[in-house]
Amino acid sequence: MPTSGTTSGTTSGTTSKTYDRTRVAAWAAPASGEPLAPTTIERRAVGENDVLIAIEYAGICHSDIHTVRGDWGPQPFPVVPGHEIVGTVAEVGSAVTRHRVGDRVGVGCFVNSCRQCVNCLRGDEQFCLDGGVGTYAVTDRDGTTTQGGYSTHVVVDAHFVMSVPDGIDPAAAAPLLCAGITTYSPLKRWGAGPGKQVAIVGLGGLGHMGVKIAHAMGAEVTVLSQSLKKQEDALRLGADHYYASSDRGTFGALAGRFDLVLNTVSASLDINAYLRLLAVDGAFVNVGAPPEPFSVNPMSLIYGRHTVAGSMIGGMAETQEMLDFCAEHGIGADVEVIPASAVNEAYERVLASDVRYRFVIDTSTIG
């Protein structure tokens, strides 16, 4: 259980105010490239619009690894990663009506936004023009640094807390808060459904969710993976076809077939080869984060009225919609549940592609 205390802080000018704080157990990266280790961190007191969540499971995303290893620039160490959070409500603020103590809930990739810009008002809080606040390693609007889900408890504004339906196993639900919405949003936006041909590039943490969701939407699903080693898995997950992208004959055989190609990998690709797979008016949508820019031949776009696009998670309403969709269709991530003490080993295994398909930390093993 968290332990309470008080600290003094300064608001504006010389006016001081005492804030109640709570210390909780966590696992953090103390510095760039250093192994994660147990620690304690401070959570804010529950405000009138807040929810205190007793975390049950926290998924490991490749973004966590990039962050703590400094791949994405300097970070405000120590950093507690984790933006795939599932737990139960332990306390609610006086103004909270949507969640009650005991409810199972989830938190995804961000925990605040301005809620006043055109994007926020439209329900695209992930594109907040004033800068959305990530679940960890970001300065929140009160000046504190956010810390993520590799911990026992977290306090989050109720607007950014999702309800996790009973129909999803809580451990399998955690990765839905990132991998699930990252694939659901573009599949929905670009019309995956009956009569549509959808290709999923890559069969990892994102790709395996893309296959499950596209199949549930009614599309005919093809997986394009580097080799044939995951073919059996892909068909089990709901793919109708599977091809090795390392076989150049694949691109000739599939030319002009797909209404949508969803790229889930972060490796550099010959994007023009993939654009040739598109049918007229087809779209290549990128949700991976390759290290190098794509080089697009304009003729790959002009011939066939092709589109190259990108997508990033989803807003609060769409994320809730995704969770409800997954519950309705019996969809959860394929997970390997680990104790917190195995997190550093899990990072190495993610980098070696030795997980099928998402690690999830049992946070009862923290502290």
Q: Note the pLDDT tens digit of each residue in 164-216.
A: 999 899 999 999 999 999 999 999 999 999 999 999 999 999 999 999 999 99
Contact 176, 169 (CB under 8 A): no
* Burial degree of 278 (CB within 10 A; 0-12, 13-18, 19+): buried
Every domain of the chain and the residues it spans: 3-178+332-365, 180-310
Q: Note the pLDDT tens digit of each residue in 244-275.
A: 999 989 999 999 999 999 999 988 899 999 99
What would be the CATH architecture of the domain defined by 3-178+332-365? Alpha-Beta Complex (3.90)
Residue range 61-73: average pLDDT? 92
Cis omega (within 30 of 0) for bond into 291: no
Burial 177-194 (b: 16+ CB within 10 A, else e): bbbbbbbbbbbbebebee
Does CATH number 3.30.565.10 belong to domain 180-310? no
Q: What is the pTM of this model?
A: 0.93
